[in-house]
Structure formats: C-alpha cells, structure tokens
Amino acid sequence: MNIKVLGTGCPKCQTLEKITRETVNEMGLEAEIEKVEDIMKIMEIGVLQTPGLVINDKVVMSGRLPSKSEIKNLITQNN
C-alpha cells in the first residue's frame, strides 16, 4: 500500500501525517507513507486544497483534516 500525505507543512498537514502514521500502525498494515510538500507535485496530482490524502494513487480526501476513524475507513475502502 502506498499512501501520500499532501501539504506544504502547515499544522493541519503535519497533523494529517501524524494521525495517518498512527492509524496505519494501529491497523498493523505495511504501507509506504510519503509526505509530499512540493506545491507543483501536489497540483500535478490534482489537489488544489491541502491537506490531501492519496491512497494507492487515488485522491481520497482534500481540503480538510479527517478524524482518525475516517482515515481508517478510507484506508480500508482503498486497500
């Protein structure tokens, strides 16, 4: 599984990365988690509002900070 956390480094983006890593660990999954901070790369992916979350090359959320349970559901649905 490949997960990308998209954001330029704002507090919400940092929080999304933290809770995504925690959720993956709690679920006992093997996943490569990448933080993408380059705004040009973020725009190439198709996200115009950060933070954003991409699972297996599919944008699953952008423009807000989801709860940990929502992240768990997104991972389960897109695994």
Handedness of CA 47, 50, 55, 56 (dihedral sign): positive
Q: Which strand ranges, in their side-by-side order, compose the sheet holding 32-36?
A: 32-36, 2-6, 52-55, 58-62
Catalytic residues: 10, 13
Count up the domains in the chain and report the number. Answer: 1
Contacts of 21 (CB under 8 A, 6+ apart): 33
pLDDT, tens only, 25-77: 999 999 999 999 999 999 999 999 999 999 999 999 999 999 999 999 999 99
Range of the structural domain that residue 47 is part of: 2-77
| Residue type at position 31 | A
**78 closest CA partner among 56, 63, 62:** 56
Does pTM surpass 0.85?
Answer: yes
Return the CATH number at 59.
3.40.30.10
Confidence tier at 79 by pLDDT (50, 70, 90): confident
